[in-house]
Structure 1
Amino acid sequence: MNRTWPLPPPEGFTADDLDRIPDLPPHTELIDGSLVFVSPQALFHMLVIDLLRFQLPQQAPESMRVRREMSVVLGPRQRPEPDIMVVDAAAEDGVDLKSYAAEHVILAVEVVSPDSQERDRERKPQLYAKAGIRHFWRIENDDHRPVVYVYELDPATGAYVATGIHRDHLKLSVPFDIDIDLGDIKRM
C-alpha cells in the first residue's frame, strides 16, 4: 500500500493539525512541530502500562483519573501522548475529548522503548517540565523488571528533580498515596 503523508508547513505542524490530518496512524504524536509515528510495542511495554492502568485508579483520589492513549497539548507545536497520565477529573467535559491541556495533567508516565529512548529520556521530560506538569515518571526495562525513575518539578528552576529510583516496590506520597508491587508484572 502506497501512502502519501502530508507535507509539513515551513513552521511545522500545530497541535490542532493533529485532529485535522486524515488517516494518521494511531498514537501519532507531535514533537517540535513534527509528526512522530509510534512503533509497535514490546510485551514489557504493554505489561507495565497494564500494571499501572490497573493499580493507579484503585489508589487515586476521586478528583483524579488515570488515562492512556490520549495526548496532551503542551504548546502550539507540542502534543505528545504519554503512556499513562493522571489528570484532574474536572478536565473531562465529555466523551468527545481528544486531548488534555497541560494544566490538567498531574502526572505523565513514559515507558522507554528502544525506538523512543531519546524522546522519553530527554525531550519529553523537558517539554512536560516546561509546560508545568508537576510529576513525571520514566520507566526502564532492567532485565525484564521495571525500574521507575520518579521526578518532581522544582518551581524555582522549572526543571525536574529526581526524587527516587524504585526497582521492586513503588511507594510514594505524591501526587497521592501510591503503593505498587512492581514484581506483579511477572504474574500478568
Structure 2
Amino acid sequence: MTALPEDSWLLGIRPQPAPVTAEEYDALSEEIAKAIEIVDGYVVYCAVPAPDHQTCARRLADMLERHARAAMSGGHDCFTVNTDVDLRLRDLPLLNRRPDVALYRCLDRGRGERLRAEHTLLVVEIVSPGSETQDTTDKLGEYAKAGIPHYWIVRLDRTGVSIIERYRLDRALMLYKHTGTFMKEEPGGAPTVGTPILMEIDWAELQF
C-alpha cells in the first residue's frame, strides 16, 4: 500500500464527531451559518459563489420580487423574495439548505418564525461548476420530499441566464415533474408562467 505524503490535504480530513442538532445550528453565528448547509446533520461547506452567479441570483430575485409585488397589489397574500436564505427542510435529522433564491409567504418575525418548507412557494438553484449533482439530483429530491411546490434549475452562459428548467410537485408521489424548459435562444419573446404567481421572463433583465 502506498503511504500518503505527510503534506497531503487528505490527512486533514477528519470525520465529524456527531450530527449537528437543530438547537446547535440555531446557536451558530450568522457568519458561520452562511458558510454551510446541513444535510442529515452533517456539515456541507458552501463555496463563495462566483460574481456572475451572484449577479444572476440578484437579478432573478429582483424579477421575482417585482412580480410578487404585482401579485400582492392584485389581492394575493404577502410574499417575500430573498437570496441565499436560510431554509429549514427538516429538524431531525437536521436538513438545512440555503437556496440561491426563494419566494415564500411573509413570516411573522415578531414571533421568531423561521423559514420552513411549508412557507416556501418556489426555490431556485443556479448551477455552478461542482454543484451539478447537488442541484439536479440531491436538492431536487430534498425540496420535493419537503413539499415545496415549485423548483427551478437555472443555467448560465457567458452573458447571463440562458436556461430555466421548471419543476412542479406531484403531491401524490411527492416528486417533481418537469413542466418545461425556457431557453434564451428560443423565438417568441418573453415566456410567461402562471404559477406560483404570474410572471414574465424578461431575458434582458437576467443578463450581465
The answer for the alignment partner of 1:16 in structure 2 is 23
Name the residue aligned to 2:53. 45
Q: Residue 52 of structure 1: CA displacement?
A: 1.3
Q: Residue 100 of structure 2 contacts residue 124 of structure 2 at CA under 8 Å; is this kept in 1? A: yes
Partner SS for 1:67: strand
Whole-angstrom distance in 2 between the partners of 1:36 and 1:87: 24
What is the aligned-residue identity percentage?
28
Q: 1:87 to 1:7 in 2, by over 3 A?
A: same
- Give matches, 1:1-188, under 5 Å: 7-9=16-18, 12-21=19-28, 24=32, 26-60=34-68, 61-62=71-72, 63-76=78-91, 77-89=94-106, 91-94=107-110, 99-146=114-161, 147-168=163-184, 169-186=190-207, 188=208
CA RMSD of aligned residues (A): 2.3
The total of aligned residue pairs comes to 179
Residues 46-86 of structure 1, C-alpha deviations (whole Å, 9 max, x = no match):
12111112111111122211112321111122000111111
Once residues 21 and 40 of structure 1 are traced to their aligned partners in structure 2, the CA distance between those partners, rounded to angstroms, is 19
Deviation at 1:96, TM superposition (A): 6.0
Q: CA deviation at 1:32?
A: 2.2
Cα deviation for residue 95 of structure 1 reads: 9.5
Measured in 2, the distance between the counterparts of 1:74 and 1:145 equals 29
The gaps in structure 1 that reach 5 residues or longer are none
Give the secondary structure class of the aligned counterpart of 1:114. coil
Aligned-residue offset at 1:94:
3.6
**Equivalent residues of 1:14, 1:78 under 8 A apart:** no
- Residue 25 of structure 1 and its aligned partner are, at CA, apart by 5.9
Specify the structure having the higher radius of gyration (Cα). Answer: 2
Listed as ranges, the gaps of 5+ residues in structure 2 are 1-13, 73-77, 185-189
Q: Secondary structure at the match of 1:24?
A: helix
Moved over 4 A (4+): none
3-state SS of 2:22 partner: coil
- TM-score normalised to the size of structure 1? 0.84
Give yes or no for contact 2:25–2:33 (8 Å, CA) kept in 1: no
Post-superposition CA distance 1:11-33 (Å, at most 9, x none): x2233322224662634111222
Q: Distance in 2 between matches of 1:135 and 1:149?
A: 11
Deviation, 1:144, is 4.0
Cα separation, 1, equivalents of 2:80 and 2:179 = 23
